[in-house]
Structure 1
Amino acid sequence: MARNKSEADPKDQFCSNPDCPDHGEKGAGNIVKYGHDKNGKQRFWCNTCESAFVETKNTVFYNRVLTEDQIIMICKLLVEKNGIRAIERIMEIHRDTVSSVVEDLARHAREVTDFLISNVGLTKVEVDEMWSFVKKNKRKLPEEARKQMDRATVGYT
């Protein structure tokens, strides 16, 4: 899943600096492209607070040695109920690295839950029902994803 550098659009970005007056505001006109980092990720510049950030800031992909494809595969293996040690063997990635990705995923899930309760106005019960729905439908992966899972787990199940 190599991303095209031209995909990153400044209008879709927001300043992640909590001290910036335009923090969290998409489409405020303050964000411009600012080159690429050493890994080829698009960098952006906030004209309001004059700070730079990379497109993956505040995501599970930020500041990782793993590729996006590897992190996505860890997610898919987790969905298939593989444990951390099994993922370590399948992907040949140290379990501490896998655990770090899982911790970040859990933190992001918590942030989504908190956002849904605080900003969207859902109750804890409604959010719980939403996560239950997501869990029940986790096996409805596209055919290509199922094939990737099959290839990744051959000889390890």
Structure 2
Amino acid sequence: METKGTLLFRRHLSEAEILTICKHFVEKNGIRSIERITGHHRDTIGNLLTAVAEHATQMNDILIRELELTPVECDEFWTFVKKKKNMLSTTAQNQISQVMHGSTRA
């Protein structure tokens, strides 16, 4: 499976594990809390958070389709992720802003 340019590129986590971690983000669990729940190191979770933000448009579609979130819940998710902005690149912050400003698909 070709993953270059996607959220899964160079990840040692399965898509199911990534979705599980995202579910915990949606529930507003912190990084250390998710570390305790999933058993993954906080650096892995933080790196995933950055990757999710950098692929915000793609991830938004996954959140709606796979996790069956509403656009409002997606906005709450991105608000939570954006609060971690000291960890996020400019590209990630721009992607989040683009997704939050009306580009969610119903």
With the shorter chain as reference, the TM-score category is: 0.5 to 0.7
Q: Distance in 2 between matches of 1:74 and 1:60?
A: 13
Counterpart AA for 1:100: N
Q: 1:78 aligns with which of 21, 25, 28?
A: 25
Cross-structure match for 1:22: none
The runs of at least 4 aligned residues of structure 1 exceeding 3 Å deviation read: 110-114
Cross-structure match for 1:102: 49
Higher relative contact order (CA 8 A, sep 6+): 2
The answer as to 2:72 corresponding to 1:128 is no
1:97/1:128 CA distance change after superposition, 3 Å: same
Query: TM-score if structure 1 supplies the norm length?
Result: 0.38
Structure 1 residue 111: Cα displacement: 3.6
Where does the alignment leave 5 or more consecutive residues of structure 1 unmatched?
Answer: 1-41, 43-53, 117-126, 135-157
Question: Cα RMSD (Å) of the superposition?
Answer: 2.6
CA deviations over 1:30-58 (Å, ceiling 9, x no partner): xxxxxxxxxxxx2xxxxxxxxxxx2x221
Instruction: Note if contact 2:31-2:46 (Cα within 8 Å) is conserved in structure 1.
Output: yes
Q: Identity of paired residues, percent?
A: 41
Q: 1:91 aligns with which of 11, 14, 38?
A: 38
Alignment of 1:1-157 (within 5 A): 42=1, 54=2, 56-109=3-56, 110-111=94-95, 114=98, 127-129=100-102
Query: TM-score if structure 2 supplies the norm length?
Result: 0.55
Aligned residues: 69
1:85/1:112 CA distance change after superposition, 3 Å: closer
Which structure's residues are more often helix, by fraction?
A: 2
Q: Distance in 2 between matches of 1:58 and 1:75?
A: 19
Q: Distance in 2 between matches of 1:87 and 1:80?
A: 10
Kindly name which structure, 1 or 2, has the bigger radius of gyration based on alpha carbons: 1
Q: Distance in 2 between matches of 1:84 and 1:113?
A: 22
1:85/1:108 CA distance change after superposition, 3 Å: same
Structure 1 residue 108: Cα displacement: 1.5
Which structure's residues are more often strand, by fraction?
A: 1
Counterpart AA for 1:57: K
Instruction: Note if contact 2:31-2:45 (Cα within 8 Å) is conserved in structure 1.
Output: yes
Counterpart AA for 1:63: R
